[in-house]
Amino acid sequence: MIWERTPTPPVVVLDTNVVLDCLLFQDPGTTTLRAALQAGQLRWVVCARMREEFRRTLQRDALSKWQPDSEHLLTLFDRHATLRPDPPAAPLRLRCDDANDQVFIDLALASGAAWLLSHDKAVLRLRRRVPAGGPRICRPADWPGLPGA
């Protein structure tokens, strides 16, 4: 009997604004990303610090006009995200100007992520410094999608 091995889905790290685009705003620019996450074609990894930042962000006055259902959005977050331990610090050449965004870079490197999707300029500036084989850092609009999709 030949055992077929199911390929492991590529790992992705999403910054908080991309998560908001996917879960709260249902941004049309994230349709392919959302479909890949829902179908299990991507493995979205997070750490507790990221979940807590998302929870706090949902409470901000700036989002009140969208009337986010925080409980529902956190349920979706938990359903689609894979919780990992807080990552170790990245090498100095991959230090983000914004200390609050460093965790996304650290987790992308520690988890072997294929992509780190972000809108943050400080994160995007680091894309040329990522070592070979490291995550591709890009905006969701620049994400190439999955091969063959």
Closest to 118 measured CA to CA, from 132, 131, 128, 104:
104
**Structural domain includes residue 105:** yes
Residue range(s) defining the domain that contains residue 64: 11-142
pTM of the model: 0.92
**Structural domain includes residue 147:** no
| Token output for 122 | 């400080």
**Structural domain includes residue 115:** yes
Report the CATH number at residue 66. 3.40.50.1010
The string of pLDDT tens digits covering residues 38-70 is 999 999 999 999 999 999 999 999 999 999 999
Split into its structural domains, the chain has a count of 1
**Structural domain includes residue 148:** no
**Structural domain includes residue 88:** yes
